[in-house]
């Protein structure tokens, strides 16, 4: 007899990725789905924690070098300041304020996957820096880059927070190559890279005692529960961080504490977990100079200059 059971309608990117990630072996889910209203707030809380040194390092770099950076950016007249993964824009505001005080002619184009983060950013810029011309674009990096491809202005592209680290090396090369292809001779790319350091410092940054990072990691399950009508019991999963000092990859997992079955109604999917089975959820790659040079070479980018933090090995590189 023919099987008349219809295949589940898996239409959005989220649905497709959750379906393939939970039916794959080993299981995986993308960290880009950490970010909804709750996830954005949790990430802001993470950035405010002293153990998450990345934010303080980049803040210090921008604050210390803002005059030199302004000269570098404004050497060729007006520009679009395009920020990929803008989030709450807290660090970028150091530059925005400097540009605004110096009456520099530019348009701020923040790009983020989260509508909620973009709305909050838009409102806060209108309040704190009302003279700034802001044109937010919602979307994933790749989709948003396509949307802005036809803009005629000179581009300065910001990719802060070591966001590049959330991509595997081959994806990072693809990503940087795509950016390079969009760049004209006077355009610049300004990127943050977290560097290899004492492995314990890295583990502490991704495994806080308060459990904020754990809640952030588990937020992908919370989203599947609410958006895809699933019944993950978040307490039955453990947040687990590993760091490999040889490769520089910090990886986050959710580990099933028990043997369990989870139902995702919207996908008509039943997912079985063995006890201690994992879901890989995030990579936060740490770099050294060799890897950064290799990434730039592979992507056809030339390093112009770099700014280093005093403590905790973190750097911002400028490419053209
Ligand atoms: C956004 N991204 C660069 C952060 C990171 O460090 O990988 C996200 C994060 N995950 C856990 N803590 C912070």
Region 102-131: mean pLDDT is 93
Ligand 1: atom nearest CA of 87 is 1
Q: Taking 70 as the threshold, does the pLDDT of residue 106 lie above it?
A: yes
Which pLDDT belongs to residue 190?
98
Alpha carbons 295 and 298: distance in angstroms, whole number: 5
Any ligand 1 atom below 6 A from CB of 55: no
Q: What is the mean pLDDT of residues 213-231?
A: 98
Please name which of 112, 154, 62 lies closest in space to residue 122, comparing C-alpha atoms: 112
User: How confident is the model at residue 168, as a pLDDT?
Assistant: 97
Please name the residue whose Cα sits nearest to atom 7 of ligand 1: 284
* pLDDT of amino acid 6: 62
Mean pLDDT of 159-187: 95
Which residue has better confidence, 64 or 2?
A: 64
Quick one: pLDDT at residue 149?
79
Q: Name the residue among 281, 220, 279 with its Cα closest to residue 27.
A: 279
Mutate which of 29, 30, 31 for ligand 1? The one with the most ligand atoms within 8 Å of its CB, which is: 31
CB of 206 closer than 6 A to ligand 1? yes
Q: How far apart are CA 53 and CA 8, in angstroms?
A: 43
pLDDT of residue 141: 79
Mean pLDDT of 251-275: 98
Residue 4 has pLDDT above 60, yes or no: no
- How confident is the model over 183-208, as pLDDT tens digits? 999 999 999 999 999 999 999 999 99
CB of 219 sitting under 6 A from ligand 1: no
**Average pLDDT of the segment spanning 291-299:** 98
Q: Is the CB of 161 under 6 A from ligand 1?
A: yes
- pLDDT of res. 2: 47
Q: Ligand 1 within 6 A of 163 CB? A: yes
Tokens 């410092």, located at residue: 201
* pLDDT score for 8: 67
């Amino acid at each position: 007899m023919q099987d008349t059971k219809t295949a589940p309608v898996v239409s959005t990117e989220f649905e497709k990725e959750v379906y393939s990630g939970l039916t794959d072996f080993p299981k995986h889910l993308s960290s880009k789905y950490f970010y909804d209203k709750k996830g954005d707030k949790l990430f802001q809380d993470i950035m405010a924690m002293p153990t998450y040194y990345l934010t303080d390092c980049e803040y210090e770099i921008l604050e210390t070098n803002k005059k030199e950076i302004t000269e570098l950016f404004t050497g060729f007249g007006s520009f679009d300041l395009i920020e990929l993964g803008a989030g709450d824009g807290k660090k970028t505001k150091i530059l925005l304020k400097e540009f605004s005080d110096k009456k520099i002619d530019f348009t701020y184009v923040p790009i983020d996957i989260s509508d909620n983060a973009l709305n909050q950013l838009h409102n806060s810029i209108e309040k704190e820096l009302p003279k700034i011309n802001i044109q937010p674009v919602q979307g994933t990096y790749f989709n948003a880059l396509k949307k802005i491809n036809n803009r005629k202005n000179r581009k300065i592209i910001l990719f802060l927070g070591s966001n590049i680290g959330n991509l595997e090396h081959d994806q990072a090369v693809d990503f940087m190559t795509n950016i390079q292809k969009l760049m004209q001779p006077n355009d610049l790319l300004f990127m943050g890279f977290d560097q290899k350091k004492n492995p314990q410092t890295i583990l502490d940054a991704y495994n806080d005692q308060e459990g904020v990072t754990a809640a952030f990691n588990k937020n992908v399950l919370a989203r599947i529960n609410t958006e895809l009508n699933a019944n993950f019991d978040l307490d039955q999963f453990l947040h687990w961080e590993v760091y490999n000092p040889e490769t520089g990859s910090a990886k986050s997992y959710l580990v099933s504490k028990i043997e369990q079955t989870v139902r995702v109604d919207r996908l008509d999917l039943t997912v079985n977990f063995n006890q201690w089975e994992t879901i890989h959820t995030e990579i936060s790659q740490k770099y050294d100079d060799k890897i950064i040079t290799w990434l730039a070479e592979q992507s056809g980018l030339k390093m112009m200059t770099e700014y280093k933090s005093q403590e905790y090995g973190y750097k911002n590189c400028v490419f053209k």
